[in-house]
Amino acid sequence: MQSNTTAPARVGPPPEHTTAGAAVQLVRVHHRLGEVEVLGGIDLAVAHGETVALVGPSGCGKSTLLELVCGLQAPSAGRVDTEPAALLPQRDALLPWADALDNAALPLRLQGAGRGEARGTAAPLLAELGLEGFERARPHELSGGMRQRVAVARALLTGRGLLCLDEPFSALDAITRADTHRWLAGVLAAEPRTVLLVTHDVEEALVLADRVCVLSHRPARIVTELPIPGTRPRDPAADELVALRRAALEALRGC
Partner 1 sequence: MLISVAIVLALLGAWELYVRLGSVDALLLPAPSAVAETLVEDRGMLWSNLTVTAAEIGFGILLALAVGLGLAIALHLSRSARTAVYPLLVASQAVPIVVVAPLLILWFGYDLGPKVAIIALLAFFPVVVVTLDALAATDAELLRLLRSMDATRWQRLRFVELPAAVPAAVSGAKVAVAVAVIGAVFAEYSGSDAGLGHLILQSIPQLETARAWAAVVVLAAFAVLLVSILAAAERRLSYGTRLPHSPKGPS
**Residue ranges that bind partner 1, judged by CB under 8 A:** 70-72, 84-87, 89, 91, 93, 95-98, 106-107, 109-110, 130-131, 133-134, 137-146, 149, 158, 176, 179, 183
Sheet holding 211-215, edge to edge: 85-88, 162-166, 194-199, 51-55, 211-215, 222-227
CB of 99 to partner 1, least distance (A): 10
CB of 8 to partner 1, least distance (A): 20
- Annotate 64-85 with DSSP letters as a single string: HHHHHHTTSS--SEEEEEE--E
CB of 38 to partner 1, least distance (A): 17
Whether 168 and 90 have beta carbons less than 8 Å apart is answered as yes
Pairing of β 85-88 and β 162-166 = parallel
The residue (of 146 and 248) whose beta carbon lies closer to partner 1 is 146
Q: How many CB atoms lie within 10 A of CB 190?
A: 17
The residue (of 91 and 217) whose beta carbon lies closer to partner 1 is 91
The gap from C-alpha 237 to its chain's centroid, in whole angstroms, comes to 23
The residue (of 40 and 107) whose beta carbon lies closer to partner 1 is 107
The residue (of 163 and 251) whose beta carbon lies closer to partner 1 is 163
CB of 138 to partner 1, least distance (A): 6
Distance (Å, whole) CA 57 – CA 59: 6
The residue (of 40 and 139) whose beta carbon lies closer to partner 1 is 139
Distance (Å, whole) CA 157 – CA 10: 9
CB of 72 to partner 1, least distance (A): 6
